[in-house]
Amino acid sequence: MKIVISDDYQNCVRLLDCFGKLNNHDVDIFNDTVSELEEKVNRFKDAEAIVLTRERTVIDRTLIERLPKLKLISQTGKIASHVDLEACKEHGIVVMDGRGSGSATAEMNLLLILASLRNIVSEANRLKRGQWQGTVGRQLSGKILGVYGFGRIGQQVCHLGKAFGAHILVWGRESSLAKAREMGFEVAASKVDFFTKSDIVSLQLRLNQETRGIVTAADLASMKPSATLVNTSRAELVEEGALYTALKLGHPGFAAIDVYESEPVLNASDPLLELPNCLCTPHLGFVEKDNYESYFGIAFDNINAFADGSMQNCVV
């Protein structure tokens, strides 16, 4: 099959062990993201199969109608709203996805929490400038770590935080709260209680129509000035523009952000990068070797199964 893989930012896909699974296919790989329709048509026009790296490229109806050769979309990770599934179904395009462990993202959450509390980046930069200690950090042990969402990754963040001595407080939909109780974690009395009590809030929600903008300006304003918001999930979980304003006002006092409303962020174009009380990383949550082997390995297995006439992990 003719396969196109886009958005390989690190130029690493060919170096993965699992890439050998595509030896019998004709593969083109691109290291950037294009957003204009004609650019995407030109990139994917000969593709029989497209491998999507998470949600970096949007596949909408207008694009699908311009790709008559396309037979299969194989998604790394779970499919989301960036692919028009109804249009795929109408045009006979099979969509397959898969799932990784989420461990890399959970670890990234903990890394951002610890780096924020101990001022690691600013202190490392001070040392490079010829200076010595300039801040007094804080420990995670004894802090209230609020985890919003109790899915696969949220559960891991809870266990990791507990191992560091944090007091875990969970919020989410009722089914998540019931599961958290069963596993011995405290749940907040209300959303207001969750945001006002937490020293750290870690967002661990999937983005959908119900969760878009679920964290409001009022939620952020209710956080302590000493509190930190961590988001490695999706920027759109927070009301548009609300985090920037909240950080300027000092409630919460700090944020560690790995996701943005428009990605990739080039030329330091996101306003959050201007703020001294925001630690920003370039969506590294799932960017880890073992995780990539898992995500891309499943995506490549899906293609081989399709080529052999056996369907697996089908969404459409």
Residue 124 pLDDT? 98
Give 49's strand partners.
3, 72
Q: What are the beta bridge partners of residue 29?
A: 5
Per the prediction, the chain carries an average pLDDT of 97
How does DSSP classify residue 272?
A: G
Per the structure block, which two tokens stand in for 148? 């919003």
Do the Cβ atoms of 33 and 310 come closer than 8 Å?
no
Marked catalytic residue, from 107, 236, 261, 263: 263
**Confidence grade of residue 57 (pLDDT, cut at 50, 70, 90):** very high
pLDDT digits 0-9 by tens, 62-85? 999 999 999 999 999 999 889 999
Note the pLDDT of residue 181: 98
Average pLDDT over residues 241-247: 98
The tens digit of pLDDT for each residue in 225-240 reads: 999 999 999 999 999 9
Give DSSP secondary structure letters for 212-261: TT-B-HHHHHTS-TT-EEEE-S-GGGBPTTHHHHHHHHTSSSEEEE---S
What confidence tens digit (pLDDT) does each residue in 150-200 have?
Answer: 999 999 999 999 999 999 999 999 999 999 999 999 999 999 999 999 999
Rounded mean pLDDT, 259-263: 94
Residues 6+ apart with CB under 8 A from 186: 167, 168, 169, 170, 180
The partner residues of 2 in beta bridges, in order of sequence, read 26
Average pLDDT over residues 22-31: 98
Three-class secondary structure of residue 304 per DSSP: helix
Checking if the pLDDT of 265 tops 90, the result is yes
Judge whether 65 counts as a catalytic residue.
Answer: no
**Mean per-residue pLDDT for 293-308?**
97
Fold matches, 2-100+288-307 and 103-280: yes
pLDDT the model gives residue 101: 80
Topology of 103-280 in CATH?
Rossmann fold (3.40.50)
Q: What is the pLDDT of residues 266-287, one digit of tens each?
A: 999 999 999 999 999 999 999 9
Annotated catalytic residue within 55, 234, 239, 251: 234
Confidence band of 99 (pLDDT split at 50, 70, 90): confident
**pLDDT over threshold 80, residue 100:** no
Residue 99 appears among annotated catalytic residues: no
pLDDT of residue 245: 98
Instruction: Determine whether 66 is an active site residue.
Output: no
- Please give the class, per CATH, of domain 2-100+288-307: alpha beta
Task: Give the pLDDT confidence score for residue 194 in this predicted structure.
Answer: 98
Report which of 160, 50, 113, 46 is spatially closest to residue 258, judged by C-alpha positions: 113
Going by their DSSP bridges, the two strands 186-187 and 167-171 should be labelled as parallel
Domain regions of the chain by residue span: 2-100+288-307, 103-280
Interatomic CA distance for residues 277 and 272, integer angstroms: 9
The closest of 243, 295, 279 to 108, measured between CA atoms, is 279
Average pLDDT on 88-98 reads: 97
User: For residue 157, what are its two tokens?
Assistant: 């963040």
**Taking 90 as the threshold, does the pLDDT of residue 241 lie above it?**
yes
Q: Once rounded to an integer, what is the mean pLDDT over residues 19-38?
A: 97
- Sign of the CA dihedral running 85, 89, 93, 97: positive
Report the pLDDT value the prediction gives residue 80, as an integer from 0 to 100: 86
What's the order of all strands across the beta sheet hosting 72-75? 26-29, 2-5, 49-52, 72-75, 94-96
Find residue 187's DSSP bridge partners.
170
Catalytically annotated residue among 43, 54, 251, 283: 283
pLDDT at 115 > cutoff 90: yes
Report the predicted TM-score, pTM, of the whole model to 2 decimal places.
0.94
Q: How much is the pLDDT for 94?
A: 97
Cβ-based neighbours of 162, under 8 Å, separated by 6 or more: 168
